[in-house]
Amino acid sequence: MGSCSPSFLSLFLLLILLSPISSVVALLRAPPRLPSVSAERLIRDLNLFPKQSINIVDDDVRFLDTPKIVERRFKFPNLVDPSGVSAEDLGHHAGYYQIQHSHGARMFYFFFESRNSSKDPVVIWLTGGPGCSSEMALFYENGPFTIANNLSLVPNEYGWDQVSNILYVDQPVGTGFSYSSDRRDIRHNEKGVSDDLYDFLQAFFKEHPELAKNDFFITGESYAGHYIPAFAARVHRGNKEKEGIHVNLKGFAIGNGLTDPAIQYGAYADYALDMGLIKQSEHDRINKVLPLCEAAIKLCGTDGTVSCVAAYLVCNTIFNSIIARAGDVNYYDIRKKCVGSLCYDFSNLEKYLNQKSVRDALGVGNIEFVSCSPTVYQAMLVDWMRNLEVGIPALLEDGIKLLVYAGEYDLICNWLGNSRWVHAMEWSGQKEFISSPEVPFEVDGSEAGLLTSHGPLNFLKVHDAGHMVPMDQPKASLEMLKRWMKGSLSEPAAGTETPGDDGWTCFRMIEMAKVLNSDTNLQPGNRVLSVNPVGAALPDLISPSQSGFVPGRLIADNILLTQEMTHHLNMRHNKGNLILKLDMSKAYDRVN
């Protein structure tokens, strides 16, 4: 294949594009009769003309003159919530922003304020597909709630809103609840996608200026391995060129993503062989297509069109041939069988979000929610085989950090392919990264993964997880996010572990008067702790200025109070410690 001229290869790929899919599959000398399930999946995966239309609605003049369409604080119906807190107290928002440089696009989002502190980082989550809604992650991975079988919502103790102010955005336009009044807003490449996201982010921070100075992180998974690097580069460029509100971009994280197709498709057969999905002879036969796949990707480049679709068809014969031989394996988690069109039963998501009570609460009108849009998927086919790694080194050189993590049992965006492109990436710290030792990533004293890191670059292979790490390992993924945002994945974030003899310097002493004056929050070190359970009783025990105890109270009362408060806080915030200073000299003076 190396002797093929570009013109000959272009003609060859064009013939492939115009040929029946069966002709491409024949290159692999596949068995004459595929299992019916695999054959149906093959047809579905390569279907270029899905029947379902994109979310296109009639022009609505009420929406065209203002960038802010809807933003409301809301409370989900059917929320299992024994405390009866209000929508205002929850800090949950949903809405639309009109995309400034579009013909009529409105992008839908959920925003959940941090349960910890308003000064926590702002995190945006992007689900892949392309064309799958970020609500899939919200309700099945790392959001504040999960959907029970009776369509009630159950709080998720490992939701990423524990440590961040988090956004879930339906994008590209046409995904989930996002829609447009003009078909020209359908995107086909990362430039259009990233420009829309940048416009969305500018609208969001204009509405929430109090969050604009917070640290900002971009996260997501799967096809977001394309979205995220492009969006990070767009935000960074906007900052450099002072286009709008400065975004305090600190890093971006890609979970089981597709970023560098040439390298990642080359890892498919190797991973399948290592995991026992195929035999050596099948591995060798499948890999005969690899040179043609690599040549097709090279021809596609970063801005090809027809050649990129041809590359998609050629290269996906590798993946589909593995699936044809592996049977009904779940290609997102090879430990499981594939159930349904997405290999998981996510049907409750559409049932829940299409309820009238939920739609009314969100203000989405008559837009029907669909988990994954085939039309958006089809529109982005020309983008699929493009290499998005090329823009990452410049971000690393400017100190913007990257975390690439991958569950070990995912086939479709497997850890092996992700590790290979991360190690192959050329940047100033490449040699040091390659020579860095692989160290355990420990959570609660147990190894949850293997970490390689140097400078701003981290790669984490996550144990006992498939494609959706936050779903399979919720506690480990929350700890991963927390440590990474704090600065070091190899060590627990400050305040999350019990300090040793020399570790107490990360806590600062506090006085009882500060409890009265701060109302809700104390900050020992970087840890924010709620004192509401005892705050109401404090005025009866100590004066606001802490000049002394209230007459009639005993020193013992205050000692018991501090003991009760420290016990409550240390029980509520696992593995934390709180030190309270009781000024006995003032207390003694008052008694005398």
The region of weakest confidence among 113-117, 369-373, 404-408, 499-503 is 499-503
The angle formed by the CA atoms of residues 429, 430 and 435, to the nearest 5 degrees, is: 100
- CA gap 382, 186 in Å, rounded: 13
Rounded distance between C-alpha atoms, residue 197 and residue 134, angstroms: 14
Lowest-confidence segment of 23-27, 346-350, 423-427, 428-432 by average pLDDT: 23-27
> Which tokens hold the place of 149?
């079988």
CB 334 within 8 Å of CB 48: no
Per DSSP, helices labelled H in 429-511 are 430-435, 469-472, 474-486
Q: C-alpha distances in angstroms, 169 versus 99, 176, 178, 214, 224?
A: 13, 9, 9, 19, 12
Residue 413 has pLDDT above 60, yes or no: yes
Which regions of 492-552 does DSSP assign to beta strands (E)?
521-522, 529-530
Distance of alpha carbon 477 from alpha carbon 485, whole angstroms: 12
The lowest-confidence range among 12-16, 58-62, 348-352 is 58-62
Residues 6+ apart with CB under 8 A from 519: 535
Tell me what pLDDT residue 354 has.
94
Query: What average pLDDT does the segment 422-439 reach?
Result: 98
Q: Which of 257, 580, 260, 563 is nearest to 393 (CA)?
A: 260
> Given a cut of 80, is residue 510 above it in pLDDT?
no
**Amino acid 389: pLDDT:** 96
Distance CA 15, CA 309 (A): 12
Lowest mean pLDDT among 139-153, 211-225, 318-332, 533-547: 533-547
**Could you tell me the pLDDT band of residue 578, with boundaries at 50, 70 and 90?**
low
Instruction: Read off the tokens for 349.
Output: 């998501």
Spatial distance between the Cα atoms of 216 and 203, rounded to a whole number of angstroms: 15
> Any bridge partners for residue 73, and if so which?
93
Cα(561)–Cα(563) distance, integer angstroms: 5
pLDDT of residue 254: 99
Q: Are 468 and 330 in contact (CB under 8 A)?
A: no
| Phi and psi, residue 430, nearest 5° | -60, -50
pLDDT of 367 reads 87
* Count of alpha carbons within 13 angstroms of residue 379, beta-carbon side: 27
How confident is the model at residue 75, as a pLDDT?
54
Reported as a single tens digit per residue, the pLDDT across 533-559 is 445 555 555 555 444 555 555 555 566
Domains parsed from the chain with CATH numbers: 65-261+348-486 (3.40.50.1820), 504-591 (no CATH)
Cα–Cα separations (whole angstroms), residue 188 to 183, 261, 288, 380, 521? 12, 17, 30, 5, 47
Nearest to 430 by CA among 422, 419, 440, 438: 422
Q: Please report which confidence band the pLDDT of residue 498 belongs to, taking 50, 70 and 90 as the band edges.
A: very low
Q: Which pLDDT score is estimated for 6?
A: 41
What's CA 87's distance to the chain center, in Å? 25
Residue 64 confidence (pLDDT) above 90: no
Distance CA 559, CA 538 (A): 12
Cis-peptide into 172, omega within 30 deg: yes
pLDDT band at 580 (very low <50, low <70, confident <90, very high): low
Q: pLDDT digits over 303-355, tens only?
A: 668 889 999 999 999 999 999 999 999 999 999 999 877 899 999 999 999 99
Q: What is the mean pLDDT of residues 404-418?
A: 98
| Per-residue pLDDT reduced to its tens digit, 352-394 | 999 999 998 888 888 889 999 999 999 999 999 999 999 999 9
User: How many CB atoms neighbour CB 426 within 10 A?
Assistant: 8
The pLDDT value given to residue 236: 98
- Look at 11 and 312; give whichever has higher pLDDT: 312
| pLDDT for 444 | 94
Looking from the CA of 432 toward its CB, the CA atoms found within 13 Å total: 9
Q: What is the mean pLDDT of the chain?
A: 79
Task: Give the E-state strand segments of 322-416 in sequence order.
Answer: 401-407
Q: Which pLDDT score, from 0 to 100, does residue 539 have?
A: 56
Residue 485 φ/ψ, nearest 5 degrees: -65, -35
Contact in structure between 171 and 223 (CB atoms under 8 Å): no
Alpha helices in 116-260 (DSSP H): 135-137, 190-207, 224-240
pLDDT at residue 340, as a whole number:
79
Inter-CA distances, 254 with 86, 300, 462, Å = 34, 23, 13
Residues designated catalytic: 222, 410, 467
At 369 the pLDDT is 94
3-class SS of residue 153? strand
| Identity of the highest mean pLDDT range in 11-15, 248-252, 538-542 | 248-252
For 91-138, the pLDDT digits (tens) are: 789 999 999 999 999 999 999 999 999 999 999 999 999 999 999 999
Q: pLDDT exceeding 70 applies to what percent of the chain?
A: 67
| Cβ-contact 208, 139 below 8 angstroms | no
Residue 574: pLDDT band by 50, 70, 90 thresholds? very low
pLDDT at 453: 97
- Each residue of 458-494: b (16+ CB within 10 Å) or e? bbbbbbebbbbbbbbbbebbbbbbbbbbbeebeebbb
Judge whether residue 144 has pLDDT over 90: yes
Structure tokens, 549: 């105890």
What is the bridge-based pairing of β-strands 153-155 and 145-147? antiparallel
What is the rounded distance in angstroms from the CA atom of residue 338 to the CA atom of residue 245? Answer: 45
Residue with tokens 């509401």: 532
Burial label for 82, CB within 10 Å (0-12, 13-18, 19+), is exposed
